[in-house]
Structure 1
Amino acid sequence: MTTKFEASASFAQSMDVLDPLHVLKSRFHFPQHQGKNSIYFCGNSLGLQPKSVTAAIQQELSDWQEMAVEGYFRAKNPWLYYQYNFGKGLSAMMGCSEEEVTVMNTLTVNLHLILQSFYRPAKERFKIIMEAGAFPSDQYAIETAVKLHGFDPETAIVEVHPLAGEKLLRTEVILQTIQDHKDTLALVLMGGINYYTGQFYDIPAITAAAHKAGAYAGWDLAHVAGNIPLQLHNWAVDFAVWCSYKYLNGGPGAAGGLYVHERFGNDPAFPRLGGWWGNDEKTRFKMEKGFVPRKGAAGWQISTAQVFNMVALKASMEIFEEAGIHALREKSLQLTAYLEHLIRRSPLPCEIITPEDPTQRGAQLSLFFPENGKAIHAQMMETGIICDYREPGVIRLAPAPLYCSYTDVFRFYEVLTSR
């Protein structure tokens, strides 16, 4: 749907009135600025706290207090099965079966664990392709994985760079790089969305190219989960990891997520590191030798569910299920387009380095200011508009559709044009 946008407060207000998801804004706590709610455009770093979290945590505290160990079986949300609370919501977001997803550990821990299964280099096939400028934790995980197997990162890691003079990665460059290294390639591992530019990569095309080259394809979906609906199963993605503290609003350090395609999850012989929580529940309490993995992604679980590190995520996922990820995506496309429309009207020199094509981005625009970027960011923060700054001169804005409004976006434009 194409909307004729207007740069006025009344237009923004009218869009909020028409927005069926606008009511969800009231379900979240906002940082305060001069006695009022701040405008929050930083959900790509840390999502807001749902108001339902306090009662949800109190429920688990009460069950622990009153039942102790019996809470694993008799709590309102039995802890023995706590991770099952997320299957329905995450499978809808990720486009897969409930058995193909689970919640456990944290993002980089999950990445290290899953690399034990999907990066098993040989003398001929040992290379990993990744995007240049990936988030540092991905860089560190891949670097150390390569070293653990006795390879040199300088030769084993192939970074794909934008063409000279460009800030975005062209899909054809990624595909050509895969083709160029097809005989020595073991794994393609990229971020679904680049944290800096906000570029959403062509997951199905890149995954298909990796498979054609005889390699696995895995994705870090930290900036995608809760942002853009996916079809991981149909795209034949081998594995994916993500965090829960950004768009999913799981709170600082919240448990991460894992997806494993059923062709591996249903194969008990497929290599992985074992733990008590990943063992088949039918034999778990026999306390015997011999790891028998559970079916699906749960077969990669290591330790007992981190209940208190999953409570806020459970509360947030209930809001996601009520709203629907596809309805949120529809609003996000409109909201981000409105932000883009207003920024292009600004008299300040500013380059939007996020792709112009809405199918190649999520709820983020990265703005490059050749001058005064840090000062502009400081002004935003001083007026109660929370966003983040990255050198050199980039302000990242993430109007998350769960709790951001058209009026919020217009207020940013007002402050920007007041300089």
Structure 2
Amino acid sequence: MDYQNTLAFAVAQDEQDVLKDFRNRFFIPKHNGEDAIYLCGNSLGLQPKSSAQYLADQMKNWESLAVEGWFQGDDPWLEYHKSLSTSIARIVGANKNEVSVMNSLTVNLHLLMVSFYKPNSKRFKVIMEGGAFPSDQYAVESQVKFHGFDPKDVVIEIFPRERELTLRTEDILKTIETHADELALVLFSGINYYTGQFFDIQAITIAAHQAGAYAGFDLAHAAGNVPLHLHEWDADFACWCSYKYMNSGPGGISGIFVHEKHFTDSAMNRFAGWWGYRADKRFLMAPGFDPALGADGWQVSTSPILLLALFKASMAIFDEVGNIGMLREKGVALTGYLEFLINEINKTKGEEVFRIITPANPAIRGSQLSIVCTQNAKAIFKYLAENGVIGDWREPDVIRLSPVPLYNSFKDVYKAAKHLSDALDAVK
């Protein structure tokens, strides 16, 4: 796209945007009576206007049906979670029986590592990206200790080369090959939360399998953001939260993927609970765990219907869009426009006052730019907030701005960049 640094260009792009009306499906926070410029969907997605009705419908079912709501009504709770399977499978590129909705992300990561991290005296090492989200680091560290190993001897973190900001795929694959004989698990983010780098999930999976290890992924910043093909890529497992790009509300429900090739592995460990028991015999209350066939067999506890209802409201919007490729196309355009405008600021100032650490190649990033402020960083972030630009701060000097294609506009991006430019003169 031939970008232009004018409001007229931004408005023209919005007018021809086939997805523009979806913005009206969301509540936009206000600033001084006007819509704020919300560029923080990578941290918490906006609330769909339909969420209250979806929630109210289930509150009404609880009111009028009480316990019979599990079995009666238009959408009985007993299989309510299954009504989301088609939507989620489309978003992550899976078969319906390979996904399930449950718990929160880190809980699911622990449950999946019970199955897919099975260290022994020969294979015990875990490879992950350096600077992974702390929750993943803590989960891996505790799992390693649980199995009686020292994380210093087991966890291998891969960092960018000196004077580079992101990882090279070749370095990831080489590290996997180097440790192949002792490797048990490769656990990566889909997109690194800090840099915004979209990793080559397929290449990492192939390398892990060639080394005799499992490959798992935390898709917190990837699900609903970039196209995924987990089944085709042959990933063993994945988990994600749904409150970022999938707009399910603060602390919203999580989801998992387990490749169908593992469904009949009777030797696979798992922490069992009654909601993961085969549905046709669950209420017989028999001893001995007989898991449901599919990802549902990793469920533990009764579905939280109210959280699922909030998620379902957002999934209905994704279903209406139908093709995540359309969202991806707009996300690439919006993020590219923000990148263009920031580079224009740097040209005007004659120096790189805003250094983008997210990859320049749109194929290896999502709808996010992480921007190092080389001067007065915290004051600039505060200036943005005071002028209605809602972004995300990461110590010591990074502002993350994420234009989400469902509800952000080119005008949002233009105005955000204008405030960034103005901040340089206003903050001294």
Provide TM-score, normalisation by structure 1: 0.98
- Which residue number in structure 2 is paired with residue 52 of structure 1? 50
Cα displacement (A) at 1:271: 2.2
Give the whole-Å Cα distance in 2 for the aligned partners of 1:309 and 1:102.
Answer: 14
Verify: 1:402 aligned to 2:406, yes or no: yes
Cα displacement (A) at 1:415: 1.1
- Which residue number in structure 1 is paired with residue 338 of structure 2? 339
* 3-state SS of paired residue (2:366): coil
1:243-280, Cα deviation, whole Å (9 max, x unpaired): 01100000011110100000112445432111111111
Give the whole-Å Cα distance in 2 for the aligned partners of 1:4 and 1:177.
Answer: 39
Equivalent AA in structure 2 for residue 375 of structure 1 = A
Q: Which runs of 5+ in 2 are unaligned?
A: none
Cα displacement (A) at 1:376: 1.2
Cα displacement (A) at 1:78: 1.1
Give the whole-Å Cα distance in 1 for the aligned partners of 2:116 and 2:213.
Answer: 9
8 A contact 1:63–1:76 mirrored in 2: no
Give the whole-Å Cα distance in 1 for the aligned partners of 2:12 and 2:74.
Answer: 42
1:13-33, Cα deviation, whole Å (9 max, x unpaired): 010010010100010011111
* 3-state SS of paired residue (2:230): coil
1:333-392, Cα deviation, whole Å (9 max, x unpaired): 111111111110003511110001100000000011111111111111111110011112
- Which residue number in structure 2 is paired with residue 200 of structure 1? 198
8 A contact 1:268–1:292 mirrored in 2: no
Equivalent AA in structure 2 for residue 374 of structure 1 = K
Cα displacement (A) at 1:75: 2.8
Give the whole-Å Cα distance in 2 for the aligned partners of 1:269 and 1:299.
Answer: 14
Verify: 1:381 aligned to 2:385, yes or no: yes
- Which residue number in structure 2 is paired with residue 328 of structure 1? 327
Give the whole-Å Cα distance in 1 for the aligned partners of 2:279 and 2:16.
Answer: 48
1:70-89, Cα deviation, whole Å (9 max, x unpaired): 10111332110111121111
How do 1:126-137 and structure 2 match up within 5 A?
126-137=124-135
How do 1:19-418 and structure 2 match up within 5 A?
19-323=17-321, 324-346=323-345, 347-348=348-349, 349-418=353-422
Give the whole-Å Cα distance in 2 for the aligned partners of 1:273 and 1:84.
Answer: 21
* 3-state SS of paired residue (2:162): coil
* 3-state SS of paired residue (2:407): coil
1:268-327, Cα deviation, whole Å (9 max, x unpaired): 543211111111111111111121111111000001111111111100000011113111
Equivalent AA in structure 2 for residue 415 of structure 1 = H
Cα displacement (A) at 1:229: 1.2
Give the whole-Å Cα distance in 1 for the aligned partners of 2:227 and 2:266.
Answer: 29
Give the whole-Å Cα distance in 2 for the aligned partners of 1:278 and 1:139.
Answer: 27
Give the whole-Å Cα distance in 1 for the aligned partners of 2:337 and 2:365.
Answer: 14
Give the whole-Å Cα distance in 2 for the aligned partners of 1:172 and 1:223.
Answer: 22
* 3-state SS of paired residue (1:284): helix
Cα displacement (A) at 1:234: 0.8
* 3-state SS of paired residue (1:310): helix
Equivalent AA in structure 1 for residue 7 of structure 2 = A
* 3-state SS of paired residue (1:285): helix
Give the whole-Å Cα distance in 1 for the aligned partners of 2:335 and 2:37.
Answer: 15
1:80-102, Cα deviation, whole Å (9 max, x unpaired): 01111211111111111000001
Equivalent AA in structure 2 for residue 108 of structure 1 = T
Instruction: Tell me the matched-pair count.
Output: 417
Identity %: 52
Give the whole-Å Cα distance in 1 for the aligned partners of 2:42 and 2:335.
Answer: 14
Give the whole-Å Cα distance in 2 for the aligned partners of 1:72 and 1:360.
Answer: 43
Provide TM-score, normalisation by structure 2: 0.96
* 3-state SS of paired residue (2:216): strand
Give the whole-Å Cα distance in 1 for the aligned partners of 2:326 and 2:69.
Answer: 36
